[in-house]
Every structure is written in C-alpha cells, then in structure tokens.
Amino acid sequence: MRSIADQKVDELGGRLSVLTRQRRDHVKLEDLLEDLQGTTGVEQGRVLLRIYRLVFPHAFAEEAVLWPVMRRVLPDGHELTLQVEREHQEVNELVTALETLDTGDPAREPVLARLVEVLREDVRDEEDVLLPRLQEKLRRTRLRGLGLAWEVVRRTAPTRAHPVVARRPPGNVVAAVPLSVLDRARDLVDGTVLRGPGRAAPVLRSISTGLGELAHRVEHLPMMRRGEDPSTSRADS
C-alpha cells in the first residue's frame, strides 16, 4: 500500500474525494504545529485555538462518517479504527489538561510536547495505514460521496475537547449539535480575548468559562456515551 501522502490528487479520487480532503487538513495541521514551536502566552493561545478548530471537527467527522464504513468493509476494521480512536481520546485528554495549566506552569511544556507528538502519530497512522486500506475497497465515486458527507459533518462538528463523549455513534452523533453550538460560541469569545479587548477581557473570560462548564455538563449526559468502546471511555466527574 502507498501512503496517501505520496499520491497525486487524481490517484486519491480527485479533489472532492475524502482522501484528498483528509490530506489537505493534515498539511494544514503540520503548518500549524510548525507555527506553534517556540510560542508563548497570547501567541501560543492563538495558534492552539486554530489547531483545535481544525483537529476536533476533523476527528469528529472521521469517527461519525469514515470509521463506521471501515468497520463494515474491512475484516480488521474494528482494530484499525480503535487504535486511532485511542489517539483521538488521548488528544482530547491532553487538551483538557492543557486548558487547566497557566502559560507559566512548568507542567505545561511536557503536555504540549506530547500533544504535538500524538497529533503527528495520528496523521501517520491515517495516511500510511487506515486510508490506503479504505482506498483499496472503495471506488472513486464512493470516495467522493464520503468526501461530501465528511465535509458536511466537519463544518458542523464540535471544535473543543470532549473526552467523555463516545468516540462512536450513536453517542457522538447525538452530542454534535449542542456541543458544536457551545464550542463555536466559546471560540468567538476566546478569539476576541486573544485579539486584546482590554477592559472587557475579564468579562469575556468569565463567559468562556461558563460556556465550557455548560459543555462539560452536556457531555456527561448518559446518551452522549452510548456506543463507546471501553478502552476509550472516560467516566470522570
């Protein structure tokens, strides 16, 4: 199998193919990870917010659209997708931990370094193993159809870490709408703070905290955990 990183757009099924869309996001992610290096404070916060807005909708669309197909068409689809779901879960937990650490906290750097490492491992696993296996089984028309479905889900998916929500349907599908609304509202507030709103900053931070707490309560609803594999489950309070 050839990695999708080494294939031309036409080989991937054209620009509308889900494989092309996946690789495009992976390239953007690597650029952002490069931008993240050496950043601190507000600058680091801005880059991280862009990473979150790319990574979490991308992973959500994979788990809701692509991995169920892979489990149907590949005899080892469950094992393959579960490995990536575990990586996605670790990313969620790392980001959740990162958000509790101040920029000057010495514990922050190793968490950030591990986050970058896991994100790159996830890309390699997808481009070198999962997506080529899917490519072997599906026709170009099917890859394009999946590309459309993946894009629709990605554009309406949550943009923040939610480690308690199931990594599989139906839990993650049920969680999509309420968490996406809360996350995107929080993104707007945090983006405003990071642009330097001056005296309004404390109020905006309080609003962001409130939105985060509300999302935390929503993700703990029992229906949001349905379908979860035990190895990616986090039943914390």
- Model pLDDT for residues 144-196, shown as the tens digit of each residue: 999 999 999 999 999 999 999 999 999 999 999 999 999 999 999 999 999 88
CB-based contact 109:102 (threshold 8 Å): no
Q: Is the pLDDT of residue 229 over 50?
A: yes
Total domains present in the chain:
1
160: three-class secondary structure by DSSP = coil
The answer to whether residue 47 sits within a structural domain is yes
From residue 170, alpha-carbon distances to 19, 32, 145 in Å are 24, 31, 21
The answer to whether residue 237 sits within a structural domain is no
- Whether the link from the prior residue into 170 is cis, omega within 30° of 0, is yes
Q: Is the pLDDT of residue 237 over 60?
A: no
pLDDT of residue 103: 84
Would you state the structure tokens that stand for residue 89, as one six-digit string? Answer: 């879960």
Average pLDDT in the chain: 94
pLDDT of residue 236: 56
**3-6: long-range contacts, CB 8 A cutoff, minimum separation 24:** 3/127, 3/128, 3/132, 4/127, 4/131, 4/132, 4/135, 5/127, 5/128
Mean pLDDT of 52-56: 98
Q: Is the pLDDT of residue 101 over 50?
A: yes
Q: What is the spatial distance between Cα 185 and Cα 188, in angstroms, rounded to a whole number? A: 5
Burial (CB count <10 Å: 0-12, 13-18, 19+), residue 11: middle
The answer to whether residue 187 sits within a structural domain is yes
The answer to whether residue 221 sits within a structural domain is yes
The answer to whether residue 19 sits within a structural domain is yes
Helix (H), strand (E) at residue 208: helix 201-219
pTM of the model: 0.94
What backbone phi and psi angles, to 5 degrees, belong to 96?
-60, -40
The answer to whether residue 41 sits within a structural domain is yes
Q: What is the spatial distance between Cα 82 and Cα 167, in angstroms, rounded to a whole number? A: 9
The answer to whether residue 43 sits within a structural domain is yes
Give which of 191, 158, 149, 170 is closest to 88, Cα–Cα: 158
The residues, ordered by sequence, that sit 6+ positions from 149 with a Cβ below 8 Å of its Cβ are: 65
pLDDT digits (tens, 9 = 90+) for 110-156: 999 999 999 999 999 999 999 999 999 999 999 999 999 999 999 99
Show the CA angle centred on residue 96, arms to residues 84 and 209, nearest 5°. 140
One-letter amino acid for residue 45 of the chain: G
The answer to whether residue 93 sits within a structural domain is yes
From residue 118, alpha-carbon distances to 37, 181, 188, 198 in Å are 15, 27, 27, 35
Query: What domain range includes position 149?
Result: 4-232
Higher pLDDT, 11 or 234: 11
Mean pLDDT of 20-31: 98
DSSP state of 10: T
